[in-house]
Amino acid sequence: MQLVVIGWLQLAAVAGAADPGPIHPGPVYHGGRNELEVAVPRLERTIVVDGRLDEPAWLEAAVLTGFSQYAPVDGVPAADSTEVLVWYSADAIHFGIRAFEPHGQVNSTLADRDRIASDDAIEILLDTFNDGRRALVFAVNPLGIQSDGVRSEANRQRSGSFDAGPDEAGVDLSPDYVYESKGQLTEFGYQVEVRIPFKSIRYQARRVQDWGINVVRRVQHSGHEQTWTPARRGLASFLAQNGRLRGLTGLDQGLVLDLNPVATMKVDGARSANGWRYGDAEPEFGFNARWGVTANLTLNGTVNPDFSQVESDAGQLVYDPRSALYFAEKRPFFLEGSEHFEVPSQLIYSRRIVEPVAAAKLTGKISGTDVGILSAVDDRVHSASGEDHPVYNIVRLRRDVGSASTVGVVYTDRVDGDAYNRVAGADARLVFGGVWALSLQGAASIDRRGGEQTTAPLWAASLTRRGRRFGLTVSVDGKDPEFRAGSGFISRPGVANVGITPRITFPGAPGARIESWSTSLAILGNWDYDRFVRGLASQDRKLHLNNTIVLRGGWRLGASVLLESFGYPPDLYRDYAVERQLGGGATDTVPFVGTPRIGNLDFVFDITTPEFSRFSGSLFAIVGRDENFHEWAPAYVAILTASADWRPTEQVRVQFTHNRQQYIRPDDRSTVSVRDIPRLKLEYQLTRAIFVRFVGQYDAFEQDDLRDDTRTGDPILIRNPATGVYERALGYSTNDFRVDWLFSYQPTPGTVIFAGYGSSLAEADRLRFRGLERTADGFFLKLSYLFRV
């Protein structure tokens, strides 16, 4: 307490924007000394959110201080001092943050919402149901720019596919909450003021309640994450290590009713035989509503929700053609409360509902049970018959068990005329011993189409030990070839996988050049499902030695060696044949057999720079000998992903990424295929609410004539699905360029003006930018306003 008062007295002489405000703080809770039970003052005060913290209310606020370092190494005091002031009134909870920075420069930009990953930032985590499973995240950068979402223990993430470090509870930035924040740079660092209305969030339906709380500070010049509670990376749950806001009482949401009318207009044009044609510019009207049935339950409804595609999906490289690509949900209605529909194996995927005519959902938590119920009617153009409206019904329930475990059930139903798909399943995540987590899942699908009905299972189990130094993951899962999820996303059906991944982490000493080094050995096997059930050998076998090193200052290095063996997948080549040369110009069509097994040896390199004040970048590369799926033959592979983020001013952001994928035949060094996807994004943030964006993406793909490279060298034939006739797989190229412009005005979530233009172009020669011709374009306009009753 004495140290805090002295620190504030020393700062009292700083004038103007650097004024730290009151010098007599309220009760102090030092996280490093495990003072984690906070009695938050309830004050009947009204203040202006201006980032100054000079109102009398802040004199009585509780003070959270004594932060600890969490990443890359935990268990040591934070190098930077942080003070978080907190109090609440009847209708909102208030936070004031003073972040002291004597060691380096503060990163801050006037960014768009959810675009502050390169900035210094404070994340306030509120577990309003005090269950240790999920927390609302309210993040702000030094200027008060907002980023918000949900951090969930059920959503575990790593920074990359070959990252050797432990997974973490992931943050989903999809949800947007209405709250106020203002911040400013000061001579001591920065300070931010945050007001979160109770009307914007869900919490327990109790007169007196406790909330879980933690505060995370990101310091970009060092690459460190610091937490108010002395959280340990080796434990199975991060949120279970939260502190507590005790005895919250008299919380008043008032009437929670948000009305959100939406008007959109879209005009698409395309080149035709009769010239350039545009469709009719007919406006469409939609309506969204949100009603807080109780403090812990929310009912959402929508009629004709808008398309919401203000930016095209970024191009992705295809590593294995047997696996489908995943694209994230972007539509506001489906993002609201999406955390309540989390389920393992992605049995719920809202993008299956393509163009809903109307939808409604109920989300929240009742007596320790998470509830997510969704019903939607899709447009008839997405029906198999073109006449029926597909109807979706989805139910997700998840029950808290013990201090950190959960059990859940899921049911999905898609009905399309006489056809239907129904999936029912159960899952559990059981945490025990502090560092162990056991995940179990079982599901079955009933699918009826064409008058025939099939039933098939899906199952999965994994055991994970997190541990500070030693970790282990053992997993097994399987999907029957007939398993179908009409409301979910199954990347690759008909397979079973077994994996064992031990991990060792060596934390560095304080101040050491190497702050953390993790190494893992991933032993993976992949089976065709029927082979697994019959106890036969695996089809694909992988041994990955991964290393991840975190250096002082925020540098991150990765290096991996991949030893793999892929078995011939006959289903992928059922329409392939070989044009056998018989001599004298005669040919014969013979089945494509393919070599039984391909061995791979690849090397992976990864480097990520710190988030410098004006620049950050990363480089990911795979080189070596890999499978060439085009011809089912070995090939030299070169895969490169480079990205750079340049911030010349607080208001300008330039992002560039380049993905390259090339396969080269080992015998004559000819290129089988090469794909380049450069993407440039320019953003100018005029104010907190207004920005202009340009996105240009080029997708250049070139493929050679295919041949039976491992056996005969003869041309490959592929059956034409329209005619049933085998045709030579001749080389071809595509060079597509996509341009998108957007003007955005978004003062709060729900109130927006979007005006945009998108154009698709093509040219004969790759990456020449000469002779580009438009093939399609379109204009769109979106107007919406959020009425908070």
pLDDT digits (tens, 9 = 90+) for 677-721: 999 999 999 999 999 999 999 999 999 999 998 888 899 999 999
Q: What is the CATH number of the domain that holds 11?
A: 2.60.40.1190
Quote the CA–CA distance of 403 and 236 in Å, as a whole number: 12
Quote the CA–CA distance of 550 and 224 in Å, as a whole number: 10
Q: Provide the pLDDT for residue 164.
A: 84
- Answer for the pair 166, 233: CB distance below 8 angstroms, yes or no: yes
Q: Provide the pLDDT for residue 20.
A: 53
Which helix (H) or strand (E) segment is 333 a member of?
Answer: helix 332-335
Q: Which two tokens stand for residue 678?
A: 């450069």
With left for phi above 0 and alpha for psi between -120 and 50, is residue 361 left, alpha or beta?
Answer: beta
What average pLDDT does this structure show over 473-482?
96
Do 177 and 31 share a structural domain?
A: yes
Q: Provide the pLDDT for residue 311.
A: 64
What average pLDDT does this structure show over 604-621?
95
Q: Provide the pLDDT for residue 585.
A: 75
Quote the CA–CA distance of 197 and 177 in Å, as a whole number: 9
DSSP 92-106: EEEEEEEEE-SSSPP
- For 107, other C-beta atoms within 10 Å of its C-beta total 23
What average pLDDT does this structure show over 412-436?
95
Q: Which of the listed residues 215, 249, 283 is the one where a domain comes to its end?
A: 249
Which residues, other chains included, contact 624 with Cβ-Cβ below 8 Å and sequence gap of 6+? 562, 600, 601, 602, 603, 636, 637
Do 347 and 239 share a structural domain?
A: no
Do 489 and 361 share a structural domain?
A: yes
Q: Report if residue 148 sits inside a domain.
A: yes
Q: What is the dihedral of CA 477, 481, 482, 487, to 10 degrees?
A: 60
Q: Report if residue 377 sits inside a domain.
A: yes
pLDDT single digits (tens) 227-265:
999 999 889 899 999 999 999 999 999 999 999 999 999
Burial per residue of 190-222, b for 16 or more beta-carbon CB atoms within 10 angstroms, e otherwise: bbbbbbbbbbbbbbbeeeebbbbbbbbbbbbbb
Quote the CA–CA distance of 259 and 254 in Å, as a whole number: 15
Q: Provide the pLDDT for residue 318.
A: 82
Do 156 and 40 share a structural domain?
A: yes
Q: Provide the pLDDT for residue 108.
A: 93
Q: Provide the pLDDT for residue 278.
A: 81
Confidence check: pLDDT of 306 > 80: no
Q: Report if residue 542 sits inside a domain.
A: no
Query: What's the pLDDT band for 219 if we cut at 50, 70, 90?
Result: very high
Confidence check: pLDDT of 735 > 80: yes
Burial per residue of 637-668, b for 16 or more beta-carbon CB atoms within 10 angstroms, e otherwise: bbbbbebebebeeeeebebebebbbbbbbeee
Q: Provide the pLDDT for residue 12.
A: 38
Q: Which two tokens stand for residue 499?
A: 């994996």
Confidence check: pLDDT of 13 > 70: no
Q: Which domain holds residue 232?
A: 2-249
Confidence check: pLDDT of 309 > 70: no
pLDDT single digits (tens) 85-127:
999 999 999 999 999 998 888 999 998 889 999 999 999 999 9
Closest CA to 680 of 613, 738, 610: 738
What average pLDDT does this structure show over 283-306?
92
Q: Provide the pLDDT for residue 270.
A: 83
Mean pLDDT is highest, among 327-331, 711-715, 729-733, for 729-733
Closest CA to 577 of 727, 386, 356, 353: 727
Do 85 and 210 share a structural domain?
A: yes
Instruction: Please calculate the CA angle 103-107-112 and round it to the nearest 5 degrees.
Output: 160
Q: Report if residue 349 sits inside a domain.
A: yes
Mean pLDDT is highest, among 1-10, 184-193, 278-287, for 184-193
What average pLDDT does this structure show over 154-179?
82
Do the bridges between strand 556-567 and strand 597-608 make them parallel or antiparallel, or are there none, so unpaired?
A: antiparallel
Q: Tally DSSP H helices, then E strands, for the chain.
A: 3, 46
Give me the residue label for tokens 């060792």.
504
Q: Provide the pLDDT for residue 9.
A: 36
> In the chain, what is the greatest distance between 2 CA atoms, to the nearest angstrom?
99
Which residues, other chains included, contact 178 with Cβ-Cβ below 8 Å and sequence gap of 6+? 197, 199, 200, 748, 749, 750, 786, 788
Do 16 and 162 share a structural domain?
A: yes
Instruction: Please calculate the CA angle 441-570-541 and round it to the nearest 5 degrees.
Output: 55
Q: Which two tokens stand for residue 688?
A: 């907190």
What average pLDDT does this structure show over 666-671?
94
Quote the CA–CA distance of 578 and 633 in Å, as a whole number: 14
Residue 10, CB-side half-sphere exposure with 13 Å CA sphere: 9
191 φ/ψ angles, rounded to the nearest 5 degrees:
-140, 150
Q: Which two tokens stand for residue 544?
A: 């990955």
More confident residue, 580 or 3: 580
Do 239 and 359 share a structural domain?
A: no
Q: Which of 271-285, 306-320, 484-498 has the lowest mean pLDDT?
A: 306-320
- Answer for the pair 120, 219: CB distance below 8 angstroms, yes or no: yes
Q: Provide the pLDDT for residue 8.
A: 41
Q: Report if residue 674 sits inside a domain.
A: no
Do 34 and 133 share a structural domain?
A: yes
Burial per residue of 117-137, b for 16 or more beta-carbon CB atoms within 10 angstroms, e otherwise: bbbbbbbbbbbbbbbbbbbbb
Q: Report if residue 316 sits inside a domain.
A: no
- For 243, other C-beta atoms within 10 Å of its C-beta total 23
Q: Report if residue 654 sits inside a domain.
A: no
Quote the CA–CA distance of 322 and 491 in Å, as a whole number: 8
Q: Which of the listed residues 224, 249, 274 is the one where a domain comes to its end?
A: 249
Q: Which of the listed residues 454, 471, 493 is the one where a domain comes to its end?
A: 493
Q: Average per-residue pLDDT in the chain? A: 91
Total-model pTM: 0.89
Domain count, the chain: 2
- Answer for the pair 564, 599: CB distance below 8 angstroms, yes or no: yes
Confidence check: pLDDT of 307 > 90: no
DSSP 336-402: TTGGGG--GGG---GGGS-SEEEEEEEEEEETTEEEEEEEEEE-GGGSSSSSS--EEEEEEEEEEET
- For 283, other C-beta atoms within 10 Å of its C-beta total 10
Q: Provide the pLDDT for residue 7.
A: 40
DSSP 4: H
Please tell me whether residue 777 adopts helix, strand or coil conformation.
strand
Q: Provide the pLDDT for residue 689.
A: 93
Q: Report if residue 206 sits inside a domain.
A: yes
Do 20 and 122 share a structural domain?
A: yes
Please tell me whether residue 198 adopts helix, strand or coil conformation.
helix
Quote the CA–CA distance of 333 and 340 in Å, as a whole number: 13
- Give percent above pLDDT 90 in the chain: 76
- Answer for the pair 517, 559: CB distance below 8 angstroms, yes or no: no
Query: What's the pLDDT band for 11 if we cut at 50, 70, 90?
Result: very low
Q: Where are the beta strands (DSSP E) in 531-614?
A: 540-551, 556-567, 576-583, 586-591, 597-608
Do 447 and 346 share a structural domain?
A: yes
User: Rounded to whole angstroms, what are the CA distances from 39 to 25, 64, 88, 201, 221?
Assistant: 14, 11, 11, 21, 34
Query: What's the pLDDT band for 226 if we cut at 50, 70, 90?
Result: very high
- Answer for the pair 564, 540: CB distance below 8 angstroms, yes or no: yes
Confidence check: pLDDT of 66 > 90: yes
Quote the CA–CA distance of 425 and 422 in Å, as a whole number: 10
Q: Provide the pLDDT for residue 22.
A: 46
Do 439 and 343 share a structural domain?
A: yes
pLDDT single digits (tens) 261-277:
999 998 988 877 777 78
**If you count them, how many residues does the chain have?**
789
Q: Provide the pLDDT for residue 325.
A: 83
Q: Which two tokens stand for residue 729?
A: 């797989």
What average pLDDT does this structure show over 40-56?
93
Q: In what order do the strands lie in the sheet with 92-100?
A: 28-30, 62-65, 82-88, 92-100, 189-197, 180-185
Do 377 and 229 share a structural domain?
A: no
